[in-house]
Amino acid sequence: MVQTGYSPLGLTKIIMQNMKSDLKNVTIIGSGAWGSALADLVQRNDCHVQIWSRQSQSSLAALVSNSDAIISAVSIKGVRTIAEKLQTAKLLPHAVLVSATKGLEPTTGKTPSQIWQSLVPNHPLVVLSGPNLSKEIMEGKPAATVVASYNDDAAQFIQNIFASRNFRVYTNSDPIGVELGGTLKNVIAIAVGACDGLNLGTNAKSALIARSLIEIIRVGVYFGAQPETFWGLSGLGDLLATCNSNLSRNYQVGYAIAQGLSLDEAIAQVQGTAEGVNTANVLIEISDREKISVPVSRYVYRLLKGEITLQQAVEGLMERDLKPENLENLEL
Ligand SMILES: NC(=O)c1ccc[n+]([C@@H]2O[C@H](COP(=O)([O-])OP(=O)(O)OC[C@H]3O[C@@H](n4cnc5c(N)ncnc54)[C@H](O)[C@@H]3O)[C@@H](O)[C@H]2O)c1
Ligand SMILES: O=P(O)(O)OC[C@H](O)CO
């Protein structure tokens, strides 16, 4: 992804000037669990925050016209509609866009930042992702996240908007890697929720998490991410958070299936969006087309499609051909 359509030096100057001014106007798009938690974080700092959702009566274009930062926290299915609205809106020249969605678009296989980049290319884009269970953040518990951009100044600007005593924010220059860590772990959280639901034990769970990280990196490399990004907060960090907490909606889906619920029943009892279900479909399409080996995600996909039982998924993973661990060549 290359940022185009603006002068980086001119923009840097404007962003730096803006960082020095006192009150920042921030618009959060999406009033679900994550949009609300992000609004709460920004409010702790010296910012004027407004939230817009598709239920709002006000016009999004009018709302964002004076925003220094526009943060999208909608589910993947809403990203293109929202980006199209902003495509025609008149934004402040220095306005920074932030994508906080963790998903893949069903029709195109694109990441949220790729959608934003293609539709609103004249503004710097920052991806925000990390081990961030919204309920813990709303309770003021300590957490850390990553803001990643090809534009360092934009990333620093967003770092300052969010950072507080209880929320530590790191910058990073690999937005696609940061974004995919958050997206792909959702499929794995379904597998780990099912593993816990079956009470398969800590050895099984640890093996599942460690082997899954390898397949996440394989997919990340295909998308152009830096492999090392996945060892950080937005990769391993978020994988651990989501696979170790029953606050995770994706984990809850896997756990419920292990209790004998159908996928529809599992989704119905989860509050909010479990992106991993759609991500599994898109990921398998990509991996089939590009011949990327993603065995854990493939078993999750087949389980969700009803092609196999959970017991068959466990047996299938355990009975795969024996092979070297081969950490030197993650693309194999
Ligand atoms: N909740 C968390 O802990 C958390 C943390 C980090 C990232 N995320 C990610 O943030 C995103 C939102 O998650 P959430 O927990 O807020 O989900 P949620 O279900 O609570 O809210 C979803 C939001 O997206 C909006 N939306 C959905 N479809 C839309 C459409 N077609 N057009 C416009 N808007 C639409 C909804 O109105 C709502 O505001 C997901 O991608 C999720 O993976 C969530
Ligand atoms: O509730 P989940 O499974 O969408 O996970 C929430 C966040 O992505 C954890 O970082």
CATH topology assigned to domain 182-318: N-(1-d-carboxylethyl)-l-norvaline Dehydrogenase; domain 2 (1.10.1040)
Task: Please report the pLDDT score of residue 156 as a whole number.
Answer: 98
Q: Is 249 flagged in the annotation as binding?
A: yes
Active site residue 185: yes
Strand order of the β-sheet with 167-172 is 47-52, 24-29, 69-72, 96-99, 125-129, 143-148, 167-172
**CATH 3.40.50.720 residue spans of the chain:** 8-173
Check if the beta carbon of residue 229 is closer than 8 Å to that of residue 235: yes
At residue 94, φ and ψ (nearest 5 deg) are -95, 5
Name every protein residue with a CB atom under 6 angstroms from any ligand 2 atom: 102, 131-133, 182, 186, 189, 238, 241-242, 248-250, 275
CB neighbours of 199 closer than 8 A, spacing ≥ 6? none
Check if the beta carbon of residue 70 is closer than 8 Å to that of residue 91: yes
Q: Is 328 flagged in the annotation as binding?
A: no
Distance of alpha carbon 153 from alpha carbon 174, whole angstroms: 14
Helix (H, G, I), strand (E, B) or coil at 126: strand
Is the sign of the CA dihedral 271, 272, 275, 280 positive or negative?
Answer: positive
pLDDT at 228 over 60: yes
Ligand 1 centre distance from Cα of residue 250 (Å): 13
Which ligand has the nearest atom to the CA of 239? 2
Q: Is 224 flagged in the annotation as binding?
A: no
pLDDT tens digit string along 112-142? 999 999 999 999 999 999 999 999 999 999 9
Helix (H, G, I), strand (E, B) or coil at 184: helix
Catalytic: which of 24, 85, 110, 185? 185
Task: Please report the pLDDT score of residue 18 as a whole number.
Answer: 52
Q: What is the ipTM of this complex?
A: 0.99
pLDDT tens digit string along 229-253? 999 999 999 999 999 999 999 999 9
Which ligand has the nearest atom to the CA of 32? 1
For domain 8-173, the CATH architecture is 3-Layer(aba) Sandwich (3.40)
Task: Please report the pLDDT score of residue 13 as a whole number.
Answer: 54
If one residue of 27, 28, 29, 34 were mutated to test the ligand 1 pocket, choosing by the most ligand atoms within 8 A of its CB, it would be 34
Distance of alpha carbon 111 from alpha carbon 79, whole angstroms: 10
Ligand 2 atom closest to 275 (CA): 4
pLDDT tens digit string along 152-169? 999 999 999 999 999 999
The residue contributing the CA closest to ligand 2 atom 2 is: 248
Strand partners, 169: 145
- Distances in Å between the Cα of 178 and the Cα atoms of 14, 62, 194, 231 are 26, 31, 25, 10
